[in-house]
Amino acid sequence: MSGAKITVANILCEFFEVVVHNILYARKLYPETIFAAKKKYGIAVYQSIHPDVNDYINQSLKAVNFHAKNNHLKRLYVCFHKSEKISEKYVFEVLNISNHVESDPLLVEVEQSLRAFLVKLNTSQNYLEDLPDDSTFSIRLETTAYSRLEFNQEPAFEDFPWVEVNEQDKSIESPDIVPLHMLKCPLLSLQMFVGREVEN
Amino acid sequence: MGRTTNGRPKKDRPTEDEEMGFGAWGGYMAAKRAKLLDQFHHAEIEKVSDIFKSVAIHVNGLTKPPADTLKNLMAAHGGEFHMYQVSGTTHIIASNLPNVKIKHLGSVPIVKPSWITDSIELGKLLDYRRYLLYTNQSVTQPRIDFPVIEKASSNKPVASSVAETNDLSKIVEKSLIILEKDVKKGVFDQIRRGPTKTAADPKFLEEFYNNSRLHLISTLGAEFKQLIVQMREKSDGKFPGREDLICLKGKTTSNVLSGSVIMHIDMDCFFVSVGLRNHPELRGKPVAITHARNGQLMMNNAHRKASREQEFEMYKDRLPHGVISRVDKLDVNSSLSEIASCSYEARKCGVKNGMFLGQAIKLCPELRTLPYDFEGYREVSNTLYKTIASYTLDIEAVSCDEVYVDVTNILKETGLTVDEWATHIRNEIMNVTRCPCSAGFGANRLQARLATRKAKPSGQYHLQADDVEMYMSDIPLADLPGVGYATLAKLGNLGLNTCGDVQVTSLKVLQGMDKRPLNFHHERKSVSAEVNYGIRFKTVGECYNFLQSLSTEVYGRLDDIGMRARCLTLKLSVRAADAPVETAKFLGCGICDSLTKSVSNILVNSAEVVFREVKILYDKLNPPFVDLRGVGIQLTKLEKNAPLNKALTKFLNQPTKKVETITGVSNKPSIEASSEKNCTENNVKISAKTKDVVKSKRGRPKGIRSSAGRVQKNGTNMSLNKYFGQNKNVPRSEKIPSQKAAPLNEEIDLSVLNELPEDLRNEIIKEYQLEDKIQVSVPSTSSDVKNTEQASKYPENLNLKNESETNKWIQSSERPSEFDVNMIAEHFKQLAIDREIDVLKVIFNFLHRTFSDLNCHWHNAYYSMVNVVQQGMVMRYGGTLMVDRKFGCCGM
């Protein structure tokens, strides 16, 4: 039982890893040269080869795994900041992780869905403006208070502590939402959209 | 240690037995067994016969005759006796074995001890199968049936009318008829209280619980425990009684308290005292509380007598050796009604609580009986608890007539001595309840409780710290709470009968040192309801009905304490195979075998769940329903109900509400009844617009009506298709309503109908069969689910497949009607709430593209749709959907 649970969480983590790298690539936050082309889910994807960036992503994903395997992960944000203010954010809302599914034993369905998800990710470019030069990015998680407490008590995560974001700078005020994709598998339901500042 | 670190392989290590020198004999246990067998063989018992050659028995548990006797018998008759069950054991001798144990015993038959004695008596080895205690075979497996002749029918001279047929089934049938006659006789007995119901009666359960003292005692106890918890939660820290007392007494801090003082209050003969409130003429006379009115039954029926005798015999059989049955001293006509409580005068004659009335009457012929007064008990208990609660909330509720109170604080604040306080509170309780009570005081609750013994009846006693040991030394061990038969027997064997005996052996626990604090917070561990009186089912349907009402009852109790359960147990008492059909006690349970089955890992949060699970368990056990004598449902593994999330509940209730209020309005359906039915399934809205719609409907040509009716019938996503396909030339303002079928999340209120003129209203009600809906809500979730599905398909049709239909809508008029726009917008809003934003984006792109060629009326329609959708978006995502907000000519 717990084996299956961890598997879904692992699938999700792996997918988030690919997604984060590709968002960074797509948004051209870093020079294209720090990315290497790889193949995943049957399509071309890009992966950062910069150790610091990778370290940040990997550490974040450890937390994702921790929360997801207990089914406490609600959302994952990839936020782009322009001088401390979030200019846009990719939101991945985990609607459902179910651990007892027999319909997709080889995970073919999930893989195809994730592939579609990644392809859709690239369409987001059409709705977004180029990032300003001095942008940074951050990964944020939305989880339950309980899971957060548990996480903070785990000594394994001490070297990469998470800080609670206060309500104001958590989000863009009444963002414009660009829907990207909805993934509905028996194993996993995931919705992806981009929130960005309303253009005037 | 060294052994593991020096790397010696594990198997070389000597086993524990080898180390102890038992290796040669194959280990300690084997050595012990061999020695015991050897002793058995060399015992100096003269061999009488070889009856039990090749039989090896093992005695499990208490038997009659006891194991030692059996051992000697076996030795005398050539058998073997094993102290432990080994592979050579051929039979297990037991009188009683729990089911669990039987499973572990394997294939060795378990035989009643009478097999041995009977065999010896007859001088030959009898077939043990006649003496099987239980069979190991499962019920489903076929088994060889040894005909067991019914004692009742064989002993009884067969009546001449039946003798001709000599058919057993006829006899059974006849006895059933007799039973029914008896039931009627019972009715005669019970005229004063109305007929006694059997469980087949739907009102039975209610009556049963209204007349059950045990039920009352247990529920009241639980209620007060709950009440104390609640009062503690709500308490504002003020105790009016205590304050009054301080005023009355004035502050004198004369006495110095050392340690805490616990008070134990116990009402004297609670049931009797309460009964006597209404019967002052009986004060000072021996009084007993019981259901029956006199000690003798009017039993002229020979058959019933016979079965009664048989049952008494069986009771004796079933009891372990040496125990005297309660029914022993009864003759066949004595009442089997139990005495719940009796006065001190009656106790002097030897009457005890729990005695059968028949026996009690013999001991004390002038004994007067009083009926139960359940309302009175409740009232007096309530008053008792309220009175005490006005002084303190440090109360531990024990039962309806017994309570522990920590009075340390009261004494400190008021400065009263223990005796003064006791007199005060006892007087007050006497005044408000008109029932006497006794109070015992001590440093802990054990001392308090034991002090109450001395206080009784109607007195008070303070067990001072210095006197504790002296006082305790005279108390028989049997009076200590937690000392049961088993412990008592062990202590008795050691020669310990009173606490004094134990004190000498310096067991500190028994010297009145009970450090447990009072338990103010009480949480229920289980909830159950069990009925073993009056269970006589004639059909399986009656049985299910009863299970249903018992389920409701037990769930009601669960709900009362605000818990839910994870585990459910069904207990059935089934008439023992050889017990008479008719029980000695009128409608009682007689001698029964009990069956239990549990299911866990469920969530019991409604009576339906209870019944569903109970039914499954019942079907699994599948006992013969005519032999059912008792049914019990127990819920365990309780957990607190999660606090209700109001928003969530509202959300969950929404679907049903929607269905309740949905009505078909826009179209007159075609004449077939089926279409009318379907029509009600569609989500159509009665809103403030109803009037207009209805009016327009009235003016509509007949042809459109019928086609529109068809549209509705075919479900929503088809409506645009049909509509546009067939009615191109009809002005659109009238037709559009037919396509609305999207689920609208607005609250739809049938009270709108009241606003309409009467004739219109009646027409609508009649046409759309609203009568039912107005009175009864018809929960039909399936139709709602269908609608949601349709809704999610709808936009795809609109955009991908049915673009041309949309185009037709656009072309049909210069400007869109406000109604259509609202309706579509509401639908889109629902999509946003349902997280279908991918679809929404495509829709709005398409609409924007299409509308950009049109005039500003359409643009405004677009903007208003966007506005409505954004409401849904903000509700769900806290942000707006990114859509084009501008046309070439105008902006939002």
Question: For B669-732, what is the HEC assignment?
Answer: CCCCHHHHHHHHHCCCCCCCCHHHHHHHHHCCCHHHHHHHHHHHHCCCCCHHHHHHHHCCCCCH
A62: in domain: yes
Q: What is the length of chain B?
A: 892
Q: Do B835 and A95 touch (CB under 8 A)?
A: yes
A37: in domain: yes
A2: in domain: no
**Whether the predicted pLDDT of B545 surpasses 80:** yes
Give the pLDDT band of residue B708 (cuts 50, 70, 90): very low
For the segment B758-796, what is each residue's pLDDT rounded down to a tens digit? 666 666 665 555 544 444 333 433 333 334 333 333 444
CB-closest option in B840, B841, B880 to A174: B880
Give the pLDDT band of residue A111 (cuts 50, 70, 90): confident
**Which of B731-754 are b and which e, b meaning 16 or more Cβ less than 10 Å from the residue's Cβ?**
ebebbbbbbbbbbbbeebeeebbe
Give the residue numbers of B annotated as catalytic, written as ranges: 402
Q: What is the pLDDT of residue A170?
A: 53
Q: Which of B15-29, B651-665, B708-722 has the lowest mean pLDDT?
A: B708-722
Q: Which of A86-100, B5-19, B440-454 has the lowest mean pLDDT?
A: B5-19
In chain A, which among 76-95 make CB contacts under 8 A with chain B? 95
Among A177, A181, A189, A193, the strongest candidate for a mutation testing the B interface, having the largest count of B CBs within 10 A, is A177
Percent of chain A with pLDDT over 70: 88
A113: in domain: yes
Give the pLDDT band of residue B22 (cuts 50, 70, 90): low
Among B601, B833, B838, B886, the strongest candidate for a mutation testing the A interface, having the largest count of A CBs within 10 A, is B838
CB-closest option in A95, A177, A181 to B882: A177
- Amino acid present at B818: E
Task: For residue A37, give its domain range.
Answer: 8-197
- Chain A touched by B874 (CB under 8 Å): yes
- Amino acid present at A149: L
- Chain A touched by B873 (CB under 8 Å): yes
What is the C-alpha separation between B37 and B56, in angstroms, rounded?
11
Give the pLDDT band of residue B667 (cuts 50, 70, 90): very low
- Chain B touched by A179 (CB under 8 Å): yes
A78: in domain: yes
Q: Give CB contacts under 8 A, 24+ apart, made by B64-71.
A: B64/B95, B64/B113, B64/B320, B64/B321, B65/B113, B65/B117, B65/B321, B66/B321, B70/B113, B70/B116, B71/B40
Give the pLDDT mean for B468-493. 72
- Chain B touched by A116 (CB under 8 Å): no
For the segment B279-311, what is each residue's pLDDT rounded down to a tens digit? 888 888 888 887 766 544 444 455 656 666 666
**CATH number of A16's domain:** 3.30.900.10
Domain count, chain A: 1
A193: in domain: yes
CB-closest option in B836, B840, B882 to A176: B882
Percent of chain B with pLDDT over 70: 56
Q: Chain B: residue nearest A127 by CA?
A: B882
User: Is B709 in contact with B716 (CB distance < 8 Å)?
Assistant: no
Q: Chain B: residue nearest A190 by CA?
A: B835
Give the pLDDT band of residue B732 (cuts 50, 70, 90): very low
CB-closest option in B836, B840, B879 to A176: B879
**Whether the predicted pLDDT of A72 surpasses 50:** yes
- Chain B touched by A172 (CB under 8 Å): yes
User: Is B746 in contact with B826 (CB distance < 8 Å)?
Assistant: yes
Please tell me the distance in Å from A120's CA to the nearest CA on chain B: 11
Q: What is the pLDDT of residue B136?
A: 46
A99: in domain: yes
Q: What is the 3-state secondary structure (H, E, C) of A45-111?
A: EEEECCHHHHHHHHHHHHHHHHHHHCCCEEEEEEEEEECCEEEEEEEEEEEEECCCCCCCCCCHHHH
Indicate yes or no: pTM above 0.80: no
Domains of chain B: residue spans and CATH: 16-195 (3.40.50.10190), 235-269+374-510 (3.30.70.270), 279-370 (3.40.1170.60), 526-640 (3.30.1490.100), 647-877 (no CATH)
Q: Do B878 and A171 touch (CB under 8 A)?
A: yes
Residues 6+ apart with CB under 8 A from B281: none
- Chain B touched by A129 (CB under 8 Å): no
- Chain A touched by B642 (CB under 8 Å): no
Q: What is the pLDDT of residue B664?
A: 39
Q: What is the pLDDT of residue B761?
A: 64
Give the pLDDT mean for B261-284. 84
Give the pLDDT band of residue B736 (cuts 50, 70, 90): very low
User: Is B91 in contact with B70 (CB distance < 8 Å)?
Assistant: no
A1: in domain: no
* Greater model confidence, B788 or B273: B273
CB-closest option in A127, A171, A181 to B882: A127
Please tell me the distance in Å from A89's CA to the nearest CA on chain B: 12
Please tell me the distance in Å from A52's CA to the nearest CA on chain B: 33
Give the pLDDT mean for B635-651. 66
For the segment B815-863, what is each residue's pLDDT rounded down to a tens digit? 777 787 888 888 888 888 888 888 888 888 888 888 887 778 888 888 8
Residues 6+ apart with CB under 8 A from B824: B740, B742, B865
Give the pLDDT band of residue B351 (cuts 50, 70, 90): confident
Residues 6+ apart with CB under 8 A from A160: A59, A60, A62, A63
Q: What is the pLDDT of residue B249?
A: 65
Q: Do A182 and B873 touch (CB under 8 A)?
A: no
